[in-house]
């Protein structure tokens, strides 16, 4: 097979984790090929919530102007706070803090959000290729490139290191991780997302709904504008299978709940209904580093077990991967032994939060009767509530 090009690093997947990795590496002067099976802008099924931490990382990578421009165009919708609704209808409201430099949280459709980071990678010097990666190239146990298909033709692209950032169904992850190391169902989730018009919204507030049929998951309403919201629900995969649920039916049942139905007096319009799976970062002893390769973001399984959010951890892992790769390339050693420092750094940065979130998830599953009492308590103690929410 003819080799088309050679690079220092190939990043497979131009979503938040991959584009962040490519941006950080390109800004350090590395030759980076960023490959995605879709051209940008493109949609991605997600809850669309963008935390303050995401914006701070983006600003550190030089995306401040791009974020401000997206806000001005109405593509990033500002968030001021949240509402948490318990099984009995008790509500906890909490404000979101701003960053030290005025950074805020947002809801942004991934067609807009991902385009900002992907463009930053290109602007920083990464080469972008619209192609579908079929498999890594492995020689003498080392990943040395990828086979990618474009326009019906498969070609070889070589590199010193490959980064798998191609999501929960990653072709790189599936080729490198043995079947025994795949995520168990209790560390996975299934979710449905749609966009809705015609529902009375709480401006600049995201809403989370906890109720018996979905625990330890939740339903959500996240406004993306004054009249449109991302609406959806998600639940742990093992519970979903045990209860033999249908997500589309569950969404209709959620919309028929009195507290929701009364907010849709003039009827609603649903569009872009989509279902996807997630892999939590709470399963022990998962491998993210290999001879000549790393996994970042959803491909590694860095989803928060309680919120189902993965963008912030994708950005964090992208930064850590770029730092690890720079050191490995400088030393001339791209073995797993050299790269596994990335696993330790990811563990140090994210593991305690993952385990804490998984503990909260088990509480929701095993002690649902405590939820309303906790919401009422937090509602009376705003300081404790803020501290609790910051740990999610």
Q: What CATH number should be reported for the domain holding residue 154?
A: 3.50.50.60
Whether the pLDDT of residue 384 is over 80: the answer is: no
| 8 and 35 both lie in a single domain | yes
Residue 59 has a pLDDT of 98
Rounded distance between C-alpha atoms, residue 289 and residue 295, angstroms: 7
And the tokens for 378? Answer: 């937090």
- Mean of the per-residue pLDDT values of the chain: 95
CA nearest to 306, candidates 358, 235, 364: 358
97 inside domain? no
| 249 and 271 both lie in a single domain | yes
Residue 293 has a pLDDT of 99
**pLDDT, average across residues 378-385:** 81
Residue bearing tokens 């519970």: 239
349 inside domain? yes
Higher-confidence position of 382 and 80: 80
Residue 344 has a pLDDT of 97
**pLDDT, average across residues 247-270:** 94
pLDDT per residue as tens digits for the range 10-26: 999 999 999 999 999 99
* Residues 155 and 129: beta-carbon distance below 8 Å: no
**pLDDT, average across residues 346-351:** 96
Query: Which CATH number characterizes residue 190's domain?
Result: 3.30.9.10
Rounded distance between C-alpha atoms, residue 291 and residue 138, angstroms: 9
* Residues 218 and 233: beta-carbon distance below 8 Å: yes
CA nearest to 139, candidates 344, 1, 240: 1
| 259 and 307 both lie in a single domain | no
Rounded distance between C-alpha atoms, residue 377 and residue 371, angstroms: 10
Residue 1 has a pLDDT of 61
| 172 and 58 both lie in a single domain | yes
**How sure is the predictor about 385, in pLDDT bands with cuts at 50, 70 and 90?**
confident
| 11 and 153 both lie in a single domain | yes
Whether the pLDDT of residue 180 is over 70: the answer is: no
| 348 and 300 both lie in a single domain | yes
Domain that holds residue 349: 3-77+106-183+282-361
If one counts the domains in the chain, the total is 2
| 173 and 227 both lie in a single domain | no
238 inside domain? yes
Residue 388 has a pLDDT of 73
| 270 and 239 both lie in a single domain | yes
| 222 and 239 both lie in a single domain | yes
87 inside domain? no
201 inside domain? yes
And the tokens for 296? Answer: 């970042």
**How sure is the predictor about 267, in pLDDT bands with cuts at 50, 70 and 90?**
confident
Q: In Å, what is the CA distance from 376 to each residue of 180, 306, 373?
A: 43, 20, 5
Residue bearing tokens 């996240």: 222
| 332 and 215 both lie in a single domain | no
State percent of the chain over pLDDT 90. Answer: 88
160 inside domain? yes
**pLDDT, average across residues 246-267:** 94
Residue 392 has a pLDDT of 67
Residue 16 has a pLDDT of 98
pLDDT per residue as tens digits for the range 105-163: 999 999 999 999 999 999 999 999 999 999 999 999 999 999 999 989 999 999 999 99
Whether the pLDDT of residue 322 is over 90: the answer is: yes
| 265 and 383 both lie in a single domain | yes
| 123 and 18 both lie in a single domain | yes
Residue 27 has a pLDDT of 99
Rounded distance between C-alpha atoms, residue 388 and residue 61, angstroms: 29
Whether the pLDDT of residue 381 is over 90: the answer is: no
């Amino acid at each position: 097979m003819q080799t088309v090009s050679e690079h220092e690093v190939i990043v497979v997947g131009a979503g938040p984790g991959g584009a962040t990795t490519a941006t950080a590496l390109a800004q350090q002067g590395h030759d980076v090929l960023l490959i995605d099976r879709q051209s940008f802008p493109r949609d991605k099924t997600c809850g669309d919530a963008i935390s303050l931490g995401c914006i701070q990382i983006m600003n550190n990578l030089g995306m401040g102007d791009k974020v401000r421009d997206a806000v001005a165009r109405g593509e990033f919708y500002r968030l001021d706070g949240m509402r948490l609704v318990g099984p009995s209808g008790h509500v906890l409201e909490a404000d979101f803090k701003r960053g030290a430099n005025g950074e805020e949280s947002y809801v942004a459709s991934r067609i807009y959000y991902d385009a900002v980071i992907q463009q930053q990678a290109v602007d920083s010097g990464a080469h972008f290729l619209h192609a579908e990666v079929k498999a890594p190239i492995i020689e003498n146990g080392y990943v040395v490139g990828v086979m990618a298909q474009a326009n019906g033709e498969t070609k070889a692209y070589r590199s010193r290191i490959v980064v798998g950032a191609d999501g929960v169904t990653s072709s790189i992850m599936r080729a490198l991780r043995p079947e025994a190391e795949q995520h168990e169902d209790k560390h996975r989730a299934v979710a449905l997302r749609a966009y809705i018009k015609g529902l009375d919204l709480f401006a600049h507030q995201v809403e989370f709904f906890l109720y018996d049929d979905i625990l330890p998951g939740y339903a959500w309403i996240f406004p993306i504008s004054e009249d449109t919201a991302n609406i959806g629900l998600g639940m742990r995969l093992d519970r979903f299978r045990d209860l033999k649920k249908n997500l589309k039916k569950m969404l209709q049942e959620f919309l028929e709940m009195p507290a929701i139905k009364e907010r849709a007096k003039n009827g609603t319009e649903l569009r872009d209904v989509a279902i996807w799976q997630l892999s939590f970062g709470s399963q022990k002893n998962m491998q993210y580093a290999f001879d000549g390769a790393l996994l970042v973001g959803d491909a590694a399984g860095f989803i928060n077990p309680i919120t189902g959010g993965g963008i912030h951890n994708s950005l964090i892992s992208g930064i850590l991967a770029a730092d690890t790769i720079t050191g490995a390339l400088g030393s001339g050693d791209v073995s797993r032994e050299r790269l596994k420092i990335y696993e330790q750094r990811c563990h140090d940065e994210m593991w305690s939060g993952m385990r804490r979130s998984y503990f909260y998830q088990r509480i929701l599953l095993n002690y649902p009767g405590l939820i309303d009492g906790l919401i009422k308590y937090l509602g009376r103690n705003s300081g404790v509530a803020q501290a609790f929410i910051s740990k999610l």
